[in-house]
């Protein structure tokens, strides 16, 4: 937790938290991800953007263990990592917050925070009280107004559900956090809440891959932006060096900021 945010993109001797090198995934004949390399430093948010079917989710699934890569390397803290399933990914400190909020609706907040990693007493029984108490502590940090520890999460608001999903990652000391469309299901107030959370997690030195359709979210939150098109990486840019239009040109035409003309950018607005 020693990283600082300001120089996250500077070249230096610092080791990236995580590197994906030359990742390839094919479904039948379709190259969903075709030789993509990206990296992530501590305390940094890297946005992964692209149209539908660009391969963002498939790429990130190789890191989360949801769908292993056909070839390529995953390096975490400078060491090669072997990730075959979600359990392996968690072992390396990779936690995922899914687009559809992967929560068990009929179970309470504590049950969801510890889902798959329940605390147990000496007899092997679930230690619900220890889990509730730990959840209460994490929640005080994330969302002090959160009170509904005993109710099934299905009756919580979108923002509260998102807090539960994030609490799950935070409690288990995630080093690398993958957020897949974290604000897609939320209203404006709740979106603001999630943005605050992301800022706080960054300040704690956690690296975040942010998958998003929302160019405003991306510009608000990300330090660097990696753009994918048809399974290939168009390029990775520093947010401060580019305009939204230039990023749109990368997403739609697959052209880097130095390859694109004024007319082409203008044509984006016409269509």
Partner 1 sequence: MRDFVSSNGIDTRLVGMVISLAVIWIGFHALSDGKFITSRNLWNLSVQSVSIGIMATGMVFIIVTRNIDLSVGSLLGFLGYTMALVQTDGRISVLGVNISVENLKVHRCYTWIAALAVGLVLGALAGLLQGSIVAYVGVPAFIVTLGGYLAWRGLIFRTGGKQGQTLAPLDDTFRYLGGAPERSLGEAKTWIAAVLVCVAIVFSIVMARRRRQRHELALRSRSTDIGFAVGGCAAVLAGVYFVAIKYKSPQTGDPVGLAYPVIILIGVALLMTYLARRRRFGRYVFAYGGNPEAAELGGINTRRTIVYTYMLMGMLCAVSAAIQTARLNSATTNLGVQNELDVIAAAVIGGTSFSGGIGTIPGAVLGAVVMQSLRSGMSLLNIDSPSQDIVVGVVLVTAVAIDALLRQRRRASVFGALGAGAVVAAWVIQTGRP
State which of residues 3, 47, 103, 242 lies at the interface with partner 1 (CB under 8 A).
103
The residues in 152-181 that bind partner 1, with binding defined as CB under 8 A, are: 152, 154
The Cα 118–Cα 125 span in angstroms is: 10
Determine if 111 is a binding residue for partner 1 (CB under 8 A): yes
Query: From the CB of 127, what's the least distance to partner 1, in Å?
Result: 8
3-state secondary structure (DSSP) of residue 203: helix
Q: Does 130 bind partner 1 (CB under 8 A)?
A: yes
Cα–Cα dist 129/119, whole Å: 9
Calculate the CA 54 to chain-centre distance. Answer: 16
The closest alpha carbon to 68, from 32, 122, 16, 30, belongs to 32
Is 124 a binder of partner 1 (CB under 8 A)? yes
Q: Which is nearer to partner 1, 169 or 225 (CB)?
A: 169
| Tokens describing residue 214 | 């929302």
Residue 261 phi/psi, 5° resolution? -100, 165
82 binds partner 1 (CB under 8 A): no
Among the listed residues 35, 68, 86, 257, the single contact to partner 1 using CB under 8 A:
86
3-state SS class at 51: coil
Altogether, the residues listed in the chain come to a count of 271
Residue 115 binding partner 1, by CB under 8 A: yes
To the nearest whole angstrom, how small is the minimum distance from the Cβ of residue 19 to partner 1? 24
Binder to partner 1 among 132, 167, 179, 228 (CB under 8 A)? 132
Q: Smallest gap, in angstroms, from Cβ of residue 115 to partner 1?
A: 4
Q: Specify the stretch interacting with partner 1 by CB under 8 A; choose among 25-33, 83-91, 191-199, 227-235.
A: 83-91
Task: Considering only CA atoms, give the Rg of the chain.
Answer: 19
What is the closest distance, in whole angstroms, from the C-beta atom of residue 3 to partner 1 in the complex? 27
Q: What is the DSSP letter of 126?
A: B
From 118, 204, 214, 220, residue interacting with partner 1 (rule: CB under 8 A): 118
Beta strand pairing call for 79-80 and 45-49: unpaired
CB of 217 to partner 1, least distance (A): 23
Between CA 191 and CA 197 the distance in angstroms is 10
CA dihedral 199, 205, 207, 210 (to 10 degrees): 0
Please report how close the Cβ of residue 119 comes to partner 1 at its closest, in angstroms: 10
- The span from the CA of 192 to the CA of 182, in Å, is 11
User: By CB under 8 A, which span of 32-40, 46-54, 69-77, 110-118 interacts with partner 1?
Assistant: 110-118
How far, in Å, CA of 45 to CA of 178, rounded?
A: 10
269 binds partner 1 (CB under 8 A): no
Give me the residues that bind partner 1 (CB under 8 A), please: 66, 85-87, 90, 96, 98, 100, 102-107, 111, 115-118, 120, 124-130, 132-133, 136, 150, 152, 154
């Amino acid at each position: 937790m020693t990283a600082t945010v300001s120089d996250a993109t500077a070249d230096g001797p610092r080791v990236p938290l995580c590197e994906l090198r030359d990742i390839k995934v094919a479904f039948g004949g379709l190259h969903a991800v075709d030789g993509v390399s990206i990296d992530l430093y501590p305390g940094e948010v890297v946005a992964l953007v692209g149209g539908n079917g660009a391969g963002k989710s498939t790429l990130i699934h190789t890191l989360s263990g949801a769908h292993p890569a056909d070839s390529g390397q995953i390096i975490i803290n400078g060491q090669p990592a072997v990730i075959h399933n979600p359990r392996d990914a968690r072992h390396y400190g990779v936690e995922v917050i899914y687009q559809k909020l992967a929560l068990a609706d009929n179970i309470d907040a504590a049950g969801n925070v510890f889902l798959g990693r329940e605390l147990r007493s000496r007899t092997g029984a679930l230690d619900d009280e220890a889990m509730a108490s730990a959840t209460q502590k994490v929640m005080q940090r994330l969302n002090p107004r959160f009170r509904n520890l005993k109710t099934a999460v299905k009756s919580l608001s979108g923002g509260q559900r998102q807090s539960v999903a994030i609490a799950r990652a935070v409690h288990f000391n995630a080093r690398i956090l993958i957020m897949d469309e974290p604000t897609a299901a939320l209203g404006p107030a709740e979106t603001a809440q999630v943005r605050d959370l992301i800022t706080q997690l960054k300040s704690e030195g956690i690296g975040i891959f942010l998958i998003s359709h929302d160019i405003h979210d991306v510009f608000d939150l990300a330090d660097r932006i990696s753009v994918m098109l048809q399974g290939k990486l168009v390029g990775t840019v520093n947010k401060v060096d580019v305009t939204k239009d230039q990023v749109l040109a990368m997403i739609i035409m697959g052209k880097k900021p130095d390859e694109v003309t004024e007319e082409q950018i203008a044509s984006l607005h016409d269509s």
